[in-house]
Structure 1
């Protein structure tokens, strides 16, 4: 057992150490602590300056890349879509500026954007399925041939495509397409600009929205992917345009690219907010007219940066 005398000795030793510390503090070690802090502050300040310089350099390089794409490589997609009519379908909350930039690129490539279709959030809301299912049944046309075991949203995609698009060029609006558009807009599931379609498109660009926060599970997009597959089957081809966020977990492109059936027929581009990505959307549309599909961009894009036909061949 430790006795009382041991406690006294220990306490005296502690006070002696404290006293020595005070004396030394006034002696040769005075300021050592503050010097260390000051030196660390200087190091941190230098690191911060270096980090800021690096960020500014990266911003300058990024601007150079964007300016180069927009000004030097501008025109690479010119005339690629001559004679092609395109419908743009925007997912709920899709970015308006991105959509406008894509529309401008499609027009610059010689295409004609015939209509912009904005999907309302309730179209893909599981709680609204009881509205979507009977509407799909009511809007079926005699010339629609649904695949066996097709889902409600796959059929909905084919019906939407029948309203604004066709598999071939040169198709105009008819009684069936007008009835479909009236039914979809009347139920507030979609809105159109312009509100009336004169010429039906042959190609469709779907603009993905950035994922919500927190990011949803990839299975959340199952209905959306079925809808997109249906639009592809009812048109001459579909390209889904998105950004980096959409190609990561919780994004539409990530879910699409994880569906082997969808990637056989639907193309995607994950850098559609960049000039080069917008041109890639054009190239992917052209490829769609040949019956091919590919996944392009910078993030898990298994087919590379762009269709092989527009890339420089290795010697």
Structure 2
């Protein structure tokens, strides 16, 4: 049993500890806690300043790289797309600034952008699949031949291609193309500006940066099929995106995992920088010759860009 003496000893020990704390607080260790906090704050501030300096340096190097590429390679794509007409198709949430830069690169290479088509997110909503299928069946023309094994979105891509593109240059926007464009824009699944007067021979599809959290790669199956349809209904198609789009959760990652798609579609995963925009031009030239390749910085099977022979163009 615990006796009275034990309680006395315990109480004395408690008071001794309290007294020692007061003495230490007023003595040589006074302020030690605040000094530790201040020291850590100084270290954190220094680390933050170092990180800021590294970021500034990285941005400066990125700007140098982009300016260097733009100046040293100026004229490298001149004339590569002369006589070629190109339609630009943007996936839902595609970056407008990157799309503008891609268009600028195409036009600097002599290409003519006939129209910009924006695809609404509802187009790829599983709940809208029946509407998409109905539109395809309603708007299909006699000169579109669907592969018996093709699916709804491959056919939808071919249908849109019939409205804005052709396998050869110089095809007009005829009554059938006008009917298709009126039908798909009336559905609110697609919008375009300007209304083209001529159907393009080539197509650039601009992919969006993946959302957060990243979706499963299979969520892009319909979008990849749609891009295949655009390719099949035109003289060739290139899908352009940012590096993140070639990683898990991105459209290019999904596309590059589809062996049937990579046989006909070209991809560029660095379309957000000048060198990548030039690669889009070279990939279009390659597509016009009937070939395809996967280019960029992230798991790009065919390297950074088409070879000089592949991108001879005009």
The residue that corresponds to 2:273 in the other structure is 274
- What are the Cα deviations for residues 88-146 of structure 1, in whole angstroms up to 9, with x where unaligned? 11112222222221111101101111121122222222212222112101222222221
Q: TM-score normalised to the size of structure 1?
A: 0.91
- What are the Cα deviations for residues 132-170 of structure 1, in whole angstroms up to 9, with x where unaligned? 112101222222221121101101111111111111223
User: Does 1:246 pair with 2:235?
Assistant: no
- Unaligned ranges ≥5, structure 2: none
The residue that corresponds to 2:73 in the other structure is 73
2: distance between equivalents of 1:81 and 1:275?
17
Shift of 1:4: 5.0
Shift of 1:3: 4.8
- What are the Cα deviations for residues 26-73 of structure 1, in whole angstroms up to 9, with x where unaligned? 223233323222222222222222222111111111111122122332
- What are the Cα deviations for residues 172-208 of structure 1, in whole angstroms up to 9, with x where unaligned? 222322222222223222222222x322111100011
* Structure 1 pair 92–2 and aligned structure 2 pair: CA distance change class (3 A): same
2: distance between equivalents of 1:178 and 1:309?
39
Contact 1:239 1:269 in 2 (8 A): yes
- Aligned to 1:309, what secondary structure does the other structure show? coil
User: Does 1:194 pair with 2:194?
Assistant: yes
Q: How is 1:1-315 mapped onto 2 (pairs within 5 angstroms)? A: 3-195=3-195, 197-309=196-308
- Aligned to 2:308, what secondary structure does the other structure show? helix
Contact 1:87 1:164 in 2 (8 A): yes
2: distance between equivalents of 1:115 and 1:125?
24
* Structure 1 pair 160–4 and aligned structure 2 pair: CA distance change class (3 A): farther
- Aligned to 1:303, what secondary structure does the other structure show? coil
- What are the Cα deviations for residues 250-307 of structure 1, in whole angstroms up to 9, with x where unaligned? 2222221222221121111111111111101001111112222222222222222111
The runs of 4+ residues in structure 1 deviating greater than 4 Å are 1-4
Contact 1:204 1:235 in 2 (8 A): yes
- Aligned to 1:92, what secondary structure does the other structure show? coil
2: distance between equivalents of 1:89 and 1:263?
18
RMSD: 2.0
1: distance between equivalents of 2:191 and 2:55?
42
- Unaligned ranges ≥5, structure 1: none
